[in-house]
Structure 1
Amino acid sequence: MQRLQIKISPWRYSILLSPIILWFTAVSSHATLNVSCQANMNTGVINISNTITTANAESANITGNLEYSCTNTGDTAGYVSVCLAANGGNTPNAVNPRYMNTASNTHKLAFDMTLPNGKTWGTRTFGFGEEYSSGAIYIPARSTELGQSNISDRVVISTSLIPNNGNALAIPGTYTNNFNGDLTFKAAEQSGSTDCLEGAQDNSNPFSFTVQATVIPSCEITAKPTDINLNNIAASAINTRGSTSIGVNCTNGAPYTIGLTPSNGNENGKGDMTSTSPNSDVIPYQLQSVAGTAWGNTLTAESVGNGVAYNGTGVNQSHTVYAIVPSADVKPDHYSDIVTISVNY
């Protein structure tokens, strides 16, 4: 018997590992837009005027520059739109009108801030006023020398005191309102995607500024008084009296005095009416106040003297002055005199 030998020769399996090399290309972190923006208003202060009086308390105005700039430190050019908003300042919801207040917060001045299109500068969150929007502005890629590219522009804001809000009643002093304006912007490679008034913004950056005005004591004679006309006086008449009114408008709360001086320079209000023809006769007269006392012009900066003292109210005040003629026993003729009115405040 023969034996059959079966030989099994095993195959050797082996896995050959070939090195696989993956090459990664380095991508710069600057290969996108990298934009930042900032704004400032008139170097921080809008000073309407240091000389607000009853004459300009409802009309004084000034223009200021609302400046903004944006920087791109990325390697990609694109577009950016900038929005600039302002609320009511110290009283955020008071936009129509806005108010400046004294330090004691007891008196106020109404004012408005308007954009170049004449509309009130406001915010998108209020129903009144309009937020400024620059529209899409092209911004280049960063410069290899500076490491950035810059754009800048400015908006002219008109700030004015406004009528029909009691500004004429303001007392002397400095009035202020402090604002925290808000800059938002949106940047993208395509101009159609950069409306800063729509959707989420890329960033927000506040900018602060102050609006101020100073009210000073002031007075003005609002109209030339009518002449005191005594008409025809009999030679036998005594203590003939005529009157007129002097209209004065002075700053609310400002003390003032009125002095009267006849053409002869008498400080006690004693004047002489002279003839308009070659006639040497004169008719003496005395100026008096409502109280019946002599009204002259011995007043000084420290003393009322024989003038008449009042306090301003911010509106026209009428003051009656009398001319008393003790006697008219003179030649028949036409007699007159001129009185100078002085207002000290």
Structure 2
Amino acid sequence: MQRLQTKTFQWRYSLLLMPIILWLPAGNAHATLNVSCKANMNTGVVNISNAITAANSESESITANLEYSCTNTGDTAGYVSVCIAADGGDKPNAVIPRYIKTVSNTHELAFNMTLPDGNKTWGTRTSGLGTEYNSGAIYIPARPTTSGQSSTSGQVVINISLLPNNGNALAIPGTYRNNFNGDLTFESAENLSLTDCLEGVQDKSNSFSFTVQATVIPSCEITAKPTDINLKNIASSATNTKGSTSIGVTCTNGAAYNIGLAPSNGNVNGAGIMTGTIPNSDVIPYQLQSTDGTAWGNTLPAESIKNGVADKGTGVNQSHIVHVVVPSADFKPDDYSDIVNISVNY
């Protein structure tokens, strides 16, 4: 009789571990150049002057600071170039010249903003007017720590000046202002040759705004001095001898003013005396008059016209004729004269 023999085998399993090495070069794990930039103009406000008059309305100027800065939060150093443009305010394409205006928009002051390089108008790429500022390539280091940043910054001096021959002299008293928009475009790269900010599309996301303003004040200036009134040779029998001259005054457009005349004897009614040469003690009385024959004196205060000659400024020279009347010349033969002081009150 055969017997069936059965054998039992035990299978043993083992895990064979093979080492796998993962290479992760630490120096290149986060090697990037990550740059951002921003700009501002004179911290937001450029005030040309608080005292614009007819005399300086076509020449007053000031310098302003256009500042920009760029930061790099990446691990790689590189280069960045910054382009900054500015528009024409509420007239976006009015760059040459630009304008500031009164609240009522009835009067304007024309001005220009120029770059220090060749006195070129600071303009905007989108309008094709003027010249956009270009910093050129600037080195920017990598961030110093894993959580830090490096930065670079620059400053541009912008010349701002009121322009002649644009009607600025006709400005009325008041504050003039306009808001302008600036756009910053930048290009960054590790390669110096790839950082031309003018190659890219103008970036509206890095915009900033600033205000340009100026204040026109009432003012007057004697711009055409009168010539001497020479009555020449007067016969002693002459009566009511007359002569004249003119005074030229330029006052702010719309500014009220009056002109006072005071003989050297201080008479507020314009009644003076001409004196001869020593030892001649004779004096010749005379009267200053306006064109309509009214006595022209200098009774103050300034806010009261009284016997002065009143007018309103136009921003350009206005001429006023002064007449002198000598009632009698029946005095010793001599050369007689007097000095009249002119005051313009506004």
TM-score (norm 2): 0.91
Alpha-carbon separation, structure 1, partners of 2:271 and 2:232 = 20
Quote the residue 1:141 is aligned against.
142
Quote the residue 2:218 is aligned against.
217
Quote the residue 2:295 is aligned against.
294
Alpha-carbon separation, structure 2, partners of 1:145 and 1:326 = 98
Quote the residue 1:65 is aligned against.
65
Quote the residue 1:325 is aligned against.
326
Amino acid at match of 1:133: N
CA shift in 2, pair 1:58/1:202, >3 Å? closer
Alpha-carbon separation, structure 2, partners of 1:90 and 1:239 = 62
Alpha-carbon separation, structure 1, partners of 2:238 and 2:272 = 18
Alpha-carbon separation, structure 1, partners of 2:203 and 2:313 = 54
CA shift in 2, pair 1:264/1:138, >3 Å? same
Quote the residue 1:39 is aligned against.
39
Alpha-carbon separation, structure 1, partners of 2:148 and 2:304 = 70
Aligned: 1:98 with 2:111? no
Amino acid at match of 1:181: G
Alpha-carbon separation, structure 2, partners of 1:206 and 1:41 = 11
* 1:18 Cα deviation after fit: 9.4
Amino acid at match of 1:120: T
Aligned: 1:52 with 2:52? yes
Alpha carbons 1:33, 1:74 under 8 Å: kept: yes
Number of residue-to-residue matches in the alignment:
330
For the residue of structure 2 that corresponds to 1:248, the secondary structure is: strand
Quote the residue 1:180 is aligned against.
181
For the residue of structure 1 that corresponds to 2:43, the secondary structure is: helix
Quote the residue 1:284 is aligned against.
285
Quote the residue 2:3 is aligned against.
none
Quote the residue 1:12 is aligned against.
none
- Output one character per residue of 1:206-242: Cα deviation in whole Å (capped at 9) or x when no partner: 1111111111111111132101111111111111110
Alpha carbons 1:239, 1:327 under 8 Å: kept: yes
Quote the residue 2:120 is aligned against.
119
Alpha carbons 1:33, 1:72 under 8 Å: kept: yes
Quote the residue 1:240 is aligned against.
241
CA shift in 2, pair 1:33/1:145, >3 Å? closer
* 1:146 Cα deviation after fit: 6.0
For the residue of structure 1 that corresponds to 2:286, the secondary structure is: strand
Amino acid at match of 1:324: V
Quote the residue 1:164 is aligned against.
165
Long gaps (5+) in structure 2: 1-15
Alpha carbons 2:65, 2:156 under 8 Å: kept: yes
For the residue of structure 2 that corresponds to 1:334, the secondary structure is: coil
For the residue of structure 1 that corresponds to 2:197, the secondary structure is: coil
Amino acid at match of 2:54: T
Alpha-carbon separation, structure 1, partners of 2:20 and 2:307 = 109
Long gaps (5+) in structure 1: 1-16
Alpha-carbon separation, structure 1, partners of 2:186 and 2:88 = 21
Amino acid at match of 1:65: N
Q: Decide which moves more: 203-212 or 228-237.
A: 203-212
CA shift in 2, pair 1:80/1:202, >3 Å? farther
Amino acid at match of 1:111: F
* 1:55 Cα deviation after fit: 1.2
Alpha carbons 2:183, 2:203 under 8 Å: kept: no
Quote the residue 1:79 is aligned against.
79
Quote the residue 1:88 is aligned against.
88
Alpha-carbon separation, structure 2, partners of 1:207 and 1:111 = 20
For the residue of structure 2 that corresponds to 1:336, the secondary structure is: coil
Alpha-carbon separation, structure 1, partners of 2:17 and 2:204 = 51
Amino acid at match of 2:89: G
Alpha-carbon separation, structure 2, partners of 1:144 and 1:227 = 82
Amino acid at match of 2:312: N
Quote the residue 2:340 is aligned against.
339
